[in-house]
Structure 1
Amino acid sequence: MNNYNIKYSKIKVLFALLLAAILYSACTKQDDFKKFVEGGEISYTGKLDSVKMFSGDSRVLLTGLFLADPKVVKCKITWNNGKDSVVLPVVKKNAIDTLIYSIPNVAEGLQNFTIYTYDKVGNKSVPVYANARSYGDRYKASLSNRPISSVTADASTGKGIISWLGMDKLTGVFATEVQYTSTNNVIKKIRTKIDSTSTTIPDLKAGTDIQYRTLFLPDTSCVDTFRTAFQTQRVLLDYTGYFKNSGNPFVSDGGSGRWRVLKDWVVSASVKNHGGYGSWCSDQGGTLAMEMGWSNTAAIVDGKIYQSLTLPAGKYNFGIDIGANEAIDPVYIVAAVGNTLPNVNSISTAIAYTNFADKNLQFTLTQPTTVSIGFLATMTTGNQYWVVKGISLKTL
């Protein structure tokens, strides 16, 4: 046999061995594959599509789409490392159906969920993973009501004003809700955004309180609103409207000079010591005032500037906004029963009185009473004056 034939024979042997190895390997892999498909080929159902999850109050909300697979008969959702689960029957009415399901009793915190669909013989889809947060008692315990600076209502019109203090927005706070009794005895609610610093109540019944609570959404995906408990807040009634011409600025009864007479106030003759005028001064835009001295102004004896009004029982604060105080002799703020103020030497007969510089006079009425409220002074020393820009009367 020549060398060519020997080489050719070796090649045939090597080729035969290589072909045998390939065939053996193929048979082995086929046998291995058969181990995994014993009883038939693997069949997967269509998975839940377009899955979204939303946080909530001790729950999460799941949404998704069942697409065109008609074999799907149920959906299983597991969480808490598979310890908790729920199985939902699926009865499709359309080629594409929507799933909206609230998963209840989910422990507080971030939870991971796995979702499978199944056909009637138990074949399941590939898993779909999603997560959402459940809020519970720990979150609720961290919530507090928005603080209030003050609540006042105009006793003459029923218009109420709530002044709010600030609040940390990181808590999820977004609004406050106020419940009140209207002037028509109807229980009403009004909502105010957290960015607003005040709330106006147009028809608050006098003598009633308000109840309020604060609303929270802990994150932008949350489907539940969290609320604090209602808290009662006393309303301070504002009786300033019972006065005519309460200032800022005060109005005169006419004239053109610096000194005139206050409109709607009772002014004693001794206060009109500027050629028959006095009690109103053009300083600071229009003020209630008394002045004596400077060589051309007579002393003021038992000078009175006041108004009389009938008030219900209650505790009151009469406040003044002082524009200037250059008084030398005592000047009093006074509240007295009846239609006039007492003289200085009888001031102890008044319900209450205090020094003008105190800016506030407090008094109590045990029953509806007609009272006179205003200013009393005897000014005889040197050069002196005082100025009031405005007044207020509110309950305590």
Structure 2
Amino acid sequence: MLRRSEVRLNSSIKRINMFNKIKLMRLTALFAVVSIFAACTKADDYKKYVAGGEISYPGKIDSVKISSGNNRVQLKALFLADPKVVLCKVFWNNFKDSLSIPVVKKNTVDSLTIFVPNVAEGLQSFTIYTYDKDGNRSIPVNKTGMSYGDRYKASLSNRGISLAQTGSDGVTKIDWLGMDRLTGVFATEVQYTNNSNQTVTIKVPIDATSTVLANFKTSSSMKYRTLFLPDTSCVDTFKTDFVDRYIPRYVEQDVTSTYLKNAGPFNRDTWDGSRWGTLADWISNAGAKNINSNRYGGYELRSGVGVLSFESGWGITTPVTNGLIYQTITLPAGTYSFRLNGIDQNSGGSRFISVAAGNTLPNVADITSASIAFANISDGKLDFTLTQQTTVSIGFAVSIANTGQYIKVGSVGLFKQVYL
């Protein structure tokens, strides 16, 4: 039998449990009411934004490509299968500038190619939207593009020319200087008049170092300008201003007798009375005199005709070592050609013709560094240009072994370019 105190405790516990259940029921009911109210409020808020119907987003433009240009860019893109699109807008310059493009779709996929004008020079950001007839717009498409303008143009210069002339053979030739490829240079445009009085336009690739102007009208002018593409996507060609260039015609004037003595057939100064000797009017150093105890060398009577000669072997035991034969003359400014005729030689050793400033010809070892110009005797000629009147030494520098090596020259000539 329970005690009275235990009965009172059980009764208290039952009252507490009943109170907690009632409290939980009240909280649950309150939460349900709040949830229903919140749901209704969200629904009402959504209705504020979609009053009149659900939001409609037109299909955005696709496959956008922006190419650089001259104060403009070119935009290429695709309109996909959304028939609601009626307008496209391009924004740039922080949305201060824009371009509207009406859209009339004809196919499931239509293409767009359009120039965006008046774009300030430099890298620009573009934002592109499409719109339907109700003014709803697509999500944005963002792209960057480059515009070139006055700053880039100011950095461009015309390609240089090192020589432009019509030769005595009637061929008109231009020799070009090189250019920095980083500027975007790719060609030079040349215009000239031919012998039929027709204007001819040619485009010379930047890789070409010289150009022949076919059928050029003698002693007339041509004009030229240089072409640039600043990057591989650029749709506009930038051009320098045309520059006029007069192209003179020259003929070769034989000035041998004016400046050279004993040019051939050659006369002797000293002679052994049979075959060998030294040349009259030419300076021959000790190295050129390797015959008959170093008394003779440089001259040979060959088949009754005097020739300029270097020879060692066949009984001549002394080689030609640094043999120099030359004349010292004073020439006015101009372009010259020193030419050899009647060359008969074999191979071996060092065999040069040279022109050098001053009263002596450089030694064989110094020919390549101390000459105004030099060439191998086998070339048969030496072309050189003097920018002012100059005293020069011109002639032969030879070293050959005593193994039957030889060089014979029948005559020499000196020619000057005279412009008409």
Q: Which residue of 2 aligns with 1:277?
A: 305
Q: Deviations over 1:333-359 (max 9, x none)?
A: xxxxxxxxxxxxxxxxxxxxx998377
AA aligned opposite 2:182: L
Q: Which residue of 2 aligns with 1:79?
A: 92
How far the C-alpha of 1:58 sits from its partner, in A, is 1.7
Kept after mapping to 1: 8 A contact 2:276/2:301 = no
Q: Which residue of 2 aligns with 1:294?
A: none
The answer as to 2:222 corresponding to 1:198 is no
How far the C-alpha of 1:395 sits from its partner, in A, is 2.2
Equivalent residue of 1:357, what SS?
A: strand
The answer as to 2:247 corresponding to 1:231 is no
Structure 2 CA distance, aligned partners of 1:71 and 1:224?
A: 34
Structure 2 CA distance, aligned partners of 1:107 and 1:20?
A: 61
Q: 1:49/1:176 Cα in 2 relative to 1: closer, same or farther (>3 Å)? A: same
Structure 2 CA distance, aligned partners of 1:355 and 1:93?
A: 79
The answer as to 2:93 corresponding to 1:65 is no
Unaligned runs of at least 5 residues, structure 2: 1-10, 256-263, 266-274, 278-298, 312-332, 340-352, 360-388, 395-408
AA aligned opposite 1:231: V
Q: Which residue of 2 aligns with 1:187?
A: 199
- Picking from 54, 60, 79, the partner of 1:47 is 60
Structure 1 CA distance, aligned partners of 2:65 and 2:186?
A: 24
Q: Which residue of 2 aligns with 1:332?
A: none
Q: Which residue of 2 aligns with 1:377?
A: none
- Picking from 336, 339, 360, the partner of 1:319 is 336
Q: Could you list the structure 1 runs, at least 4 aligned residues long, displaced by more than 4 angstroms after superposition.
A: 3-7, 240-243, 271-275, 280-284, 324-328, 385-392
How far the C-alpha of 1:81 sits from its partner, in A, is 2.0
Equivalent residue of 2:133, what SS?
A: coil
- Picking from 173, 178, 198, the partner of 1:166 is 178
TM-score (norm 2): 0.60
Q: Which residue of 2 aligns with 1:178?
A: 190
Kept after mapping to 2: 8 A contact 1:324/1:388 = no
Q: Deviations over 1:262-314 (max 9, x none)?
A: xxxxxxxxx99766424x64769xxxxxxxxxxxxxxxxxxxxxxxxxxxxxx
Equivalent residue of 1:65, what SS?
A: strand
Q: 1:233/1:9 Cα in 2 relative to 1: closer, same or farther (>3 Å)? A: same
How far the C-alpha of 1:90 sits from its partner, in A, is 0.9
Structure 2 CA distance, aligned partners of 1:21 and 1:389?
A: 117
Kept after mapping to 2: 8 A contact 1:258/1:283 = no
The answer as to 2:228 corresponding to 1:216 is yes
Q: 1:283/1:272 Cα in 2 relative to 1: closer, same or farther (>3 Å)? A: closer
Matches within 5 A, 1:1-396: 2=14, 5-156=18-169, 158-240=170-252, 276-278=304-306, 281=308, 317=334, 319-321=336-338, 323=353, 357=392, 391=415, 393-395=417-419
Equivalent residue of 1:204, what SS?
A: coil
Kept after mapping to 1: 8 A contact 2:67/2:145 = yes
Kept after mapping to 2: 8 A contact 1:155/1:206 = no
Structure 1 CA distance, aligned partners of 2:186 and 2:355?
A: 46
AA aligned opposite 2:83: P
Structure 2 CA distance, aligned partners of 1:58 and 1:318?
A: 48
Aligned length: 292
Tell me the C-alpha RMSD between the 2 structures: 3.9
Structure 2 CA distance, aligned partners of 1:241 and 1:92?
A: 75
Identity of aligned residues (%): 48
How far the C-alpha of 1:45 sits from its partner, in A, is 1.0
Unaligned runs of at least 5 residues, structure 1: 244-251, 260-270, 285-315, 329-353, 360-384
Structure 2 CA distance, aligned partners of 1:356 and 1:387?
A: 22
Q: 1:282/1:236 Cα in 2 relative to 1: closer, same or farther (>3 Å)? A: farther
How far the C-alpha of 1:106 sits from its partner, in A, is 2.1
How far the C-alpha of 1:317 sits from its partner, in A, is 4.3
Equivalent residue of 1:239, what SS?
A: strand
How far the C-alpha of 1:394 sits from its partner, in A, is 4.7
Kept after mapping to 1: 8 A contact 2:156/2:240 = yes
How far the C-alpha of 1:68 sits from its partner, in A, is 0.6
Q: Deviations over 1:121-140 (max 9, x none)?
A: 21111122222222222222
AA aligned opposite 2:417: L
230-239 or 210-219, larger mean C-alpha shift = 230-239
Which structure's CA Rg is the greater one?
2
Q: Which residue of 2 aligns with 1:364?
A: none
AA aligned opposite 2:128: I
Equivalent residue of 1:20, what SS?
A: helix
Structure 2 CA distance, aligned partners of 1:32 and 1:283?
A: 112
AA aligned opposite 2:140: P
AA aligned opposite 2:91: T
Q: 1:47/1:388 Cα in 2 relative to 1: closer, same or farther (>3 Å)? A: farther
Equivalent residue of 2:249, what SS?
A: strand
How far the C-alpha of 1:320 sits from its partner, in A, is 3.1
AA aligned opposite 1:40: G
